[in-house]
A and B are shown apart, each in its own frame.
Chain A
Amino acid sequence: MRSMLTAALCALLAATLLVAALVADAMLASTVVTSPAQAQTLRDQIRIVGSSTVFPFSSFVAEELGKTTSFRTPVVESTGSGGGFKLFSAGVGTETPDITNSSRRIKKSELETCYANGMTSVVEARIGFDGIAIAQNGKNPDFKVSLEQLFLAVAEKVPSKGTLVPNPFKNWKEIDPTLPDRIILIYGPPATSGTRDAFVELVMHKAVKSFPEYEQVLGKDAKDYSAIRQDQAYVPSGENDNLIVQKLVQDKNAFGIFGYSFLEENKDRLKGAVVNGVKPEPKTVSSGEYPISRSLFFYIKADHIGKVPGLKEYVDLFMSEKMIGSRGLLRRIGLIPLPKDQLEQARRNVTTLKRLDPADVK
């Protein structure tokens, strides 16, 4: 009995030593094998990082690639657009991701970092639109609102008698008598989420131009006015959008701001507000009629093509009609397809691996 215990413990110790050595090996192996010339293939698995908005679409395509071809399923991680670019632009080699997803266009500075760190070519792929829905309980009557009215409901300061005052509105009716008699209660994305960024860009920056007061008070900063009220009328709640959905089902007063996919998934019990006379529907978003939408992208490290098996195939699959086409599979999980000509253009960029020039981006 005792000798068995001793033997078992010895075996365990030996195993531990080995693991410890392997750990040390793995920790430092990276420093030994980083020169790209040494290995023809960098990895046998694609690594993708970036925006949490693109994450569901990206992982859907990744899964399709894994299930229908002999390539391994790519690893997709949701790091946020900025975090994605940070990892992506670190250089060329095993450690850096092959693709980064983004819910905004790459910045000039980010692209320059890429090229400064040894990449020769970054290719841009535009995949579609992300609509942002202002959703409410499906049993309510249609809610028609203009961008300006929406702006007045969420802004921290609103114009009043030629100056700006803290937002006094508690009821939609106070903003405009034509709006229904409902308490303003909006569950929206928190400051850290990409949806909030989009909301600020697409609603606040557009609507602020209609009010000269902001320019009078804030000068040239006015066009970037992005402060959202901090009281209970706007409740940031992003971590679990399903909770917002539940709340909307219960509370007929509330509105929720979230990605179009959540509205699509819950269309039996929620409906989107009609903004500037347009309902949020794939058609209206795609045509640009629905005002609160933005483009989604991913960026390919062209230097890795041919070195990471399946990379080209993944990209081609993503850009295919089957995925992002007007009747593609991603539409079912909330991606809004590009209009035909723009899709053709985007696809041409990718198939020819057109290098994105820093001069072309802001």
Chain B
Amino acid sequence: MSVFQTDQSLKAATRRRLAFEKYFQWCTRIAIALAAGFLVYFLFTIGGMALPAFRQGQLLVEISYTEDVLEMPNYAVPEEYEFFVSHEFLRQLPLRMQEHPELLGTTAQEWVLAAADVDQLLKGKAHRLDAEQVRLVQELAATGHTRLAPNWDFFTKGDSKIPEAAGIEAAVVGTVYVLVITLLLSFPVGVASAIYLEEFAPDNRLTQLIEVNINNLAAIPSIIYGLLGLAIFINLLGILRSSSLVGGITLALMTLPVIIISTRAAIRAVPETLRHGALALGATPWQVMWNLVLPLAMPGILTGTIIGLAHAIGETAPLLIVGMMAYIPEAPSSVLEASTVLPAQIYTWASDSQRAFGERTAAGILVLLVVLLSMNALAIYLRNRFEKRW
């Protein structure tokens, strides 16, 4: 066996190994690219579906405030356009006339909300108008009597069964209530238990039980927390079904383990030497904790908390079970009132029979995503800005 041959095969083997090295590196890159590619595709698809919802079709029509309108609001607009004008606008005419009696007998041109089908036609989507109606709308469009205006109502109005009038305001308020309750319950309790378990707990059966238990809680499917909320908070303690209080408590229990685990990690990351230094100066263990360790661990704790909360806001399954999938068009004025949340609103719209809700579903998703992603961005920023590697 000559040296030359060995050298040859060795070279070949090396080439093979290096080729494999390249190939493997590319595999890892492709994995990242796949994930990123999905994200981009996903955001584009949802964005594309959502964008039309931020503009809303309007019509310029002549409104005549006659006596009849008080009884039959649709008499206010020309008969051939009756079905083009949103019922949302028409039904409020009698109230408007009661508030402004001077309107009676006058006529006025006004931009009014168009019915969903007209709106969809103007956006070039599928609609249910017949050929004659399409011709009429096109005529209106040609003479500048239609427009697509920014849809602020989407943010300032609550849910509606009339797609062109539906907005997310009530759901957003409900989400804020739920979020505040979740934060106020889960953050202090979570941080307190983490401090106790990490720094002060004696190593006994009880603390071991608590530790194993917290890890288990973190893995329990969220829907089971819904069952808990239904059985304990609603049926046993009698808190009002579908109130944001029930939702908030349920989600707080769900978020608790996440906060405990991340707080413990943050506390653990503070080096022991710092503690020893402070103890040597005569500080009590609690003083070390409160004045030294906790401030240093705070960025890590906040990061974990924000991520946990972002998860809680996006959570739907347990809320379906505690009855937050109801039709609630008005923003709740207290935590004890029935309310809905953004993900539940999205779910309701997604299964509605009226097709014009499709773009609103996507728009609701977009809003939810923007909120959640900015929360995540904040968490990432906090981590990068403040986290020290010891």
Contact = CB atoms under 8 A, between A and B. Distances in A.
B325 to A, nearest CB: 7
Interface in A61-91: 62-64, 66-68, 72-73, 75-79
Interface in B146-176: 158, 160-162
Interface stretch (B2-10, B18-26, B28-36, B348-356): B348-356
Interface stretch (B204-212, B241-249, B306-314, B362-370): B241-249
Given A5-B295, A242-B351, A76 B188 contact: no
A20 B327 contact: no
A67 B353 contact: no
A27 B238 CA distance: 6
Given A75-B338, A265-B354, A59 B184 contact: no
Contacts of A339: none
A240 B92 contact: no
Contacts of B127: 268
Contact of A268 (B128, B249, B337): B128
A266 B358 CA distance: 14
A39 to B, nearest CB: 15
Contact of A16 (B87, B162, B185): B185
Identify whether the interface residues of A are mostly helix, strand, loop, or mixed: helix
A163 interface: no
A23 B185 CA distance: 10
B326 A13 contact: no
A136 to B, nearest CB: 17
A79 B160 CA distance: 19
B328 interface: yes
Interface in B52-90: 87-88
B126 A27 contact: no
Contacts of B161: 56, 59-60, 63, 333
Given A13-B188, A16-B188, A23-B245, A75 B238 contact: no
B242 A77 contact: yes
A77 B295 contact: no
Interface string B122-146: 0000111000000000000000000
A333 B245 CA distance: 33
Nearest to B170: A73
A66 B187 contact: no
A9 to B, nearest CB: 8
Given A27-B237, A75-B242, A241-B353, A47 B329 contact: no
Contacts of B330: 66, 72-73
Identify whether the interface residues of B are mostly helix, strand, loop, or mixed: loop
B293 to A, nearest CB: 12
Given A240-B351, A242-B351, A31 B238 contact: yes
Interface size class of A (residues with CB under 8 A): 35 or more
A75 B245 CA distance: 16
Contacts of A78: 325-327
B239 A66 contact: no
B249 A23 contact: yes
Contact of A62 (B128, B327, B350, B353): B327
Contacts of A19: 181, 184-185
Interface string B292-328: 0001001000000000000000000000000101111
B291 interface: yes
A68 B92 contact: yes
Given A23-B245, A66-B330, A262 B185 contact: no
A63 B323 contact: no
A30 interface: yes
B95 interface: yes
A15 B188 CA distance: 10
Interface string A246-274: 00000000000001011001111100000
A278 interface: no
Most-contacted residue by chain B among A59, A62, A72, A240 (CB, 10 A): A59
B187 A12 contact: yes
Interface in A20-57: 20, 22-23, 26-28, 30-31, 45, 47, 55-56
Contacts of A66: 329-330
B39 interface: no
Closest 4 CB pairs of A and B: A77-B326, A59-B327, A30-B238, A27-B237
Given A240-B350, A242-B355, 13 more contacts: A5-B295, A19-B185, A26-B240, A47-B338, A59-B327, A62-B329, A64-B91, A75-B327, A76-B327, A78-B325, A268-B126, A269-B126, A333-B354
Interface of A: 2, 5-6, 12-13, 15-16, 19-20, 22-23, 26-28, 30-31, 45, 47, 55-56, 59-60, 62-64, 66-68, 72-73, 75-79, 95, 239-242, 259, 261-262, 265-269, 329, 333-334
